[in-house]
């Protein structure tokens, strides 16, 4: 059985990605990263999700990306942007972008994979219904895979790494349907940038609005609304 490392945030997309990797027959090793994000409640869901889905292991890693003024997700002084549910998408890269976050997280996953002897990395990046982050695009993933295979001993010795982003070209509605078909407990996932201390979603940040639209378009009720874990 091939091993794979999966970046698991505790949100719907990463949980679905883990389920897809398991369906493909991988022995999965989930990695969740604390990087100084204000919302730590999402990460608290990751061990439960990994256990429910049947990941071979789950571990946390830490890195400090909370540079003052860099992002609304890491700086308590910068409020998370919020809009009415049906407001049109904003243009440009939003304040919730964390500089080079996915580059750092994938690098950590790459290091873990090489140590495990795994050649496959899974990440729940989506480039259709997303906030417009530059590190959620196909060009980024292609460039990182090239980097992985010239920056590691395994790569230069011929054990090439593959970056899998199975949700990359899916709409959020398609992701919802896939998650339901795979038996993902979506009520256990959390997708809000700014939940209250009890884990209740704000309903107005990009993550909440995109998730709500996905469930609406899929014609499926969001179980997270009942549990308060959206």
Q: What is the pLDDT of residues 145-203, one digit of tens each?
A: 999 999 999 999 999 999 999 999 999 999 999 999 999 999 999 999 999 888 888 99
More confident residue, 17 or 226: 17
Q: Which of 159, 164, 186, 150 is nearest to 49 (CA)?
A: 186
Averaged confidence pLDDT in the chain: 93
pLDDT at residue 85 greater than cutoff 80: no
Q: Helix axis angle, 172-182 relative to 206-218, nearest 10°?
A: 70
Q: Are 193 and 153 in contact (CB under 8 A)?
A: no
Q: How many CB atoms lie within 10 A of CB 200?
A: 16
Q: Is the pTM of this model over 0.85?
A: yes
Share of the chain above pLDDT 70, in %: 94
Instruction: Assign domain 3-220 to a CATH class.
Output: alpha beta
Q: Which of 106, 99, 102, 105 is nearest to 148 (CA)?
A: 106
What is the pLDDT confidence band of residue 88, given thresholds at 50, 70 and 90? low
> 157: burial class by Cβ within 10 Å (0-12, 13-18, 19+)?
exposed
């Amino acid at each position: 059985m091939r091993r794979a490392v999966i970046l698991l945030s505790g949100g719907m997309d990463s949980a679905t990605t883990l389920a897809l990797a398991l369906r493909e027959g991988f022995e999965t090793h989930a990695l969740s990263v604390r990087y100084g994000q204000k919302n730590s409640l999402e990460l608290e869901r990751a061990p439960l999700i990994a256990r429910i889905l049947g990941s071979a292991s789950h571990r946390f890693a830490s890195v400090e990306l909370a540079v003052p003024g860099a992002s609304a997700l890491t700086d308590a002084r910068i409020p998370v942007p919020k809009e009415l549910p049906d407001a049109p998408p904003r243009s440009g890269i939003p304040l919730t972008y964390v500089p080079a976050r996915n580059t750092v997280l994938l690098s950590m996953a790459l290091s873990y994979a090489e140590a495990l002897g795994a050649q496959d990395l899974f990440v729940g990046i989506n480039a259709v219904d997303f906030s417009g982050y530059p590190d959620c695009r196909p060009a980024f993933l292609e460039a990182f895979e090239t980097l992985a295979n010239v920056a590691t001993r395994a790569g230069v010795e011929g054990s090439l790494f593959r970056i899998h982003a199975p949700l990359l070209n899916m709409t959020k509605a398609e992701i919802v349907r896939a998650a339901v078909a795979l038996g993902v407990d979506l009520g256990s996932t959390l997708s809000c940038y700014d939940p209250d201390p009890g884990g209740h979603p704000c309903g107005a940040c990009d993550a909440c609005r995109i998730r709500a639209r996905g469930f609406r378009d899929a014609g499926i009720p969001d179980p997270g609304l009942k549990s308060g874990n959206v």
